[in-house]
Chain A
Amino acid sequence: MTQTTAAPRMNLVGRRSPYIFEDWDARIFRVNREVFRSDEIFARERRLWDRLWLYLGHETEVPKPGDFKIRTLAGRPLIFTRDSKGQVRAYLNACPHRGTILCRETEGNAKTYQCFYHAWTFANTGELVGIPDPGAYPPERGFAATMGLRGLPRVENHRGFVFVSFALDGPSLREHLGDAREYLDFMADHSERGLEVIPGTHLYSIRGNWKLAVENAMDGYHFSPTHVTFVEYLKTTGYATSDEGGRAITLENGHSVLVFSGHGGRVGMQWEPRFGEAERLRVEENVRELTRRVGQERAARVSSTSRILFIFPNLLLFDIEGLAARQLEPIRPDFTEVRAWELAPAGESAEARELRIRILGSFIGPGGLATPDDVEAYECVQRGVVATAGDPRPEVDWSDISRGMERESRGEPARNVDEAGIRGFWRHWDDLVTGTKA
């Protein structure tokens, strides 16, 4: 046993950047608070996001040919649509002619988009199909062919989750997801018919930096103190939670995941008394079907552990009491817009759907019993980190993210109530922002 204490600490390397201080001898990890305040860093992040894969939406948001939604991503207004041939597309929502916002409805179904300014008309497959008085642009010069809708350079769909990139080249989505793909697949595995988005989107904003929302989601440490009133409510329903056995796992490319094994109660997958008898029978059937489809070992992982997965940089996936996707859209260093969807097995029964909506709704979202306290946390940090800006004492303007380093340095797995997942996020963010990694 004495040998193990002397074992080399794998990957426990230190770091000294303008933003991150990591010292494994002292077991200290600190983040400079300028990262939450600086316009200059925010501008650099925007340029980074132009190179990364970003989550756009779920394909079931545009189920039928012609369905569209408009959505702003990395500050760019987009049209997210399924074209008449059934292909999921993403276009810049700006007329190629003079840059006018092309689609001014928030959602609908359209075979074509017509710019109101000069009445140029585009097919939902992208071609410029109509120009008033086209004689000004002789067809033999091929003008129209160069003036089609500006599609996003890359659009990829992984099991219904649609990601886009504004960059012409770079790593594939598969490469970007890396080992996070396995956890995303656990969520998609819930149903053989795939997942679908439930109608009704939580659209809200927080007066805080987007990275605070990432930290919060990858932080099991805050749950008990921040959500004490929600935990009290859960106790009254007979629902027991425990942090025992929970893990924080740092994944490739800045992704990370919290795994909870001490949570009972996952609608459709793990029964608890408050779900009622009818749900017990549904759960048994679902788990039987799942086991046939993916095998016993995988079925156990899919059905009986809860997960919160962060896909760098803008997607949080909740595979907990219910299923949810949360997209972060940074607006300013101190302001972020959030869009959150609830997901469900496609075509599940009305009773199962209602239960799912009730159970998750009590917890999550701006009107739930828990999320508002998270929002209070982001906003209080944003208001608080102003206090230390420019402090003459060099150690003061740093936030501490060291929890769990002692265990980690002994080679023990990181717990979900530690801050390892947050550290993984910051290391990758630091590599990108400082240009250490392309």
Chain B
Amino acid sequence: MIGTITRQQVEDFLFQEAALLDEWRLDEWLALFDTSTTYEVPTTDRPNEDPHRSQYYVWDDYELLSARVKRLKSKHAHAENPHSRTRRLVTNVRLGERSDSSLEVRAAFLIYKIRDGNVDQFVGRYEHTLAANGAGLKFRKRRAVLELEVLRPGGRLSFIL
């Protein structure tokens, strides 16, 4: 199946994912992940470093990602209660290498996060690995790399990047 995936199918997947996040439908979002998945956000000063030997902003395995979702759904996740308004623009989608079971995807993102009178922008690129099975596409690795030098003026990645 992976061999026949088109860019349009990948775009549909990413746009649907963005909508789930913008609508805070986090259980449905988590269902887009493989249980062997990782969600990664490297630091702004070491975007290419290996997470096994480097501090990251986010380096979640499926278990920690599930805990993150559970937390964000709680009214005690103070940093996101009330939720930020977000709007994600996902564009410049390119398909990269394919293996028998996975596909590399590159895309650009611009996320507006609005809360407490502030509009914060997070701009960067996605470096995802997608897998395909009968149910459609899934994330095997979901990696968001920020182009920012510093998380400033918005200093928290309390939402999903």
Residues of A that sit less than 8 Å from B by CB: 106-107, 198-207, 226, 228-230, 232-233, 236, 335, 337-338, 341-342, 350, 353-354, 357-358, 361-362, 365-367, 369, 371-373, 375-377, 379, 383
Q: CA separation between A232 and B66, bound complex, in Å?
A: 13
Contact status A199-B156, CB under 8 Å: no
Q: CA separation between A164 and B71, bound complex, in Å?
A: 41
The 8 closest A-B pairs by CB, nearest first: A367-B57, A200-B55, A372-B79, A372-B158, A204-B155, A204-B151, A367-B157, A367-B58
A373 / chain B contacts, CB cutoff of 8 Å = 77-79, 158
Contact status B157-A379, CB under 8 Å: no
Known A203-B43, A367-B58: A375·B49 in contact at CB below 8 Å: no
A367 / chain B contacts, CB cutoff of 8 Å = 41, 56-58, 157, 161
Contact status A106-B157, CB under 8 Å: no
A387 to chain B, nearest CB (A): 14
Known A233-B67, A358-B59, A361-B59: A383·B116 in contact at CB below 8 Å: yes
A116 to chain B, nearest CB (A): 20
Contact digits for B55-80, partner A, Cβ 8 Å, 1 yes 0 no: 11111000010011011001011111
Interface of B is mostly: loop
Residues of B that sit less than 8 Å from A by CB: 41-46, 49, 51-59, 64, 67-68, 70-71, 74, 76-80, 116, 118, 149-158, 161
Q: CA separation between A362 and B61, bound complex, in Å?
A: 10
B42 / chain A contacts, CB cutoff of 8 Å = 200
B67 / chain A contacts, CB cutoff of 8 Å = 233, 236, 362, 369
B71, B118, B155, B161 interface centre (most CB from chain A within 10 Å): B155
Q: CA separation between A184 and B146, bound complex, in Å?
A: 34
Contact status B79-A375, CB under 8 Å: yes
Q: CA separation between A369 and B79, bound complex, in Å?
A: 10
Residue of B nearest to A69 (CB): B45
Given contacts A200-B54, A354-B53, 14 further A-B contacts (CB under 8 A): A106-B149, A198-B55, A199-B46, A199-B54, A203-B43, A204-B155, A228-B76, A233-B70, A337-B150, A357-B55, A361-B56, A362-B64, A367-B56, A375-B79
A362 / chain B contacts, CB cutoff of 8 Å = 64, 67
Contact status A199-B52, CB under 8 Å: no
Q: CA separation between A431 and B2, bound complex, in Å?
A: 68
Contact status B151-A357, CB under 8 Å: no
A204 / chain B contacts, CB cutoff of 8 Å = 150-152, 155-156
Contact status A201-B79, CB under 8 Å: no
A342 / chain B contacts, CB cutoff of 8 Å = 55
Residue of A nearest to B161 (CB): A367
Q: CA separation between A199 and B51, bound complex, in Å?
A: 10
Q: CA separation between A365 and B57, bound complex, in Å?
A: 7
Partner of B55, one of A199, A335, A375: A199
Partner of A207, one of B51, B55, B153: B153
Contact status A201-B59, CB under 8 Å: no
Contact status B54-A372, CB under 8 Å: no
B49, B55, B118, B152 interface centre (most CB from chain A within 10 Å): B55
B156 / chain A contacts, CB cutoff of 8 Å = 204, 366, 371-372, 375-376
Q: CA separation between A366 and B56, bound complex, in Å?
A: 10
Residue of B nearest to A197 (CB): B55
Q: CA separation between A373 and B71, bound complex, in Å?
A: 11
A383 / chain B contacts, CB cutoff of 8 Å = 116
A357 / chain B contacts, CB cutoff of 8 Å = 51-56, 59
Contact status A375-B45, CB under 8 Å: no
B17 to chain A, nearest CB (A): 19
A238 to chain B, nearest CB (A): 13
Contact status B54-A376, CB under 8 Å: no
Q: CA separation between A338 and B53, bound complex, in Å?
A: 22
Known A226-B78, A376-B79: A205·B153 in contact at CB below 8 Å: yes
Contact status A350-B153, CB under 8 Å: no
7 interchain pairs, CB-CB under 8 A: A201-B43, A203-B44, A342-B55, A354-B53, A357-B59, A366-B57, A376-B79
